[in-house]
Amino acid sequence: MATYEVNDAAVKAARRLIDDGRYDTTTEWSDAAPSTSAENDVIDARGYDGYGEWHLAIDTEASEETKGRYRFPYGDFERVNRAALIHAKQRASQNDHDDVAEAADSLLEHLDRTDG
């Protein structure tokens, strides 16, 4: 099993986006998830660090500067998506990535309090 660690920079970025009102509570993640082309555009514009900031976990066994290093996306490169946080929490829980599940849950609770 891969070793994932919480991407603290992504958690902080997501929290800031939520605080700034940049979130989507209505669109299903399957509809909001970025396309491969959009992912590549972000990498071209912001590098892998910019791409990684949209993922709650880092696969420490994956090569740096690869998409595979980053797991559990939480948004569409513009907004936090509530359904993405739920999806990340569920997938992380199912695969015993407890720290990642807790990070997703904390963000979900923060979003729900903010959206109130």
Is residue 1 over pLDDT 70? no
Confidence of residue 45 (pLDDT cuts 50, 70, 90): very high
User: Rounded to whole angstroms, how far apart are CA atoms 75 and 113?
Assistant: 18
Over pLDDT 70: what percentage of the chain? Answer: 99
Confidence of residue 43 (pLDDT cuts 50, 70, 90): very high
Is residue 84 over pLDDT 70? yes
The pair of three-digit structure tokens given for residue 93, joined into one six-digit string: 């829980």
Per-residue pLDDT of 62-82, as tens digits, reads 999 999 999 999 999 999 999
The pTM for the full model equals 0.94
55-94 burial, b at 16+ Cβ within 10 Å, e below that, comes to: bbbbbeebeeeeeebbbbbbbbbebbbbbbbebbbebbee
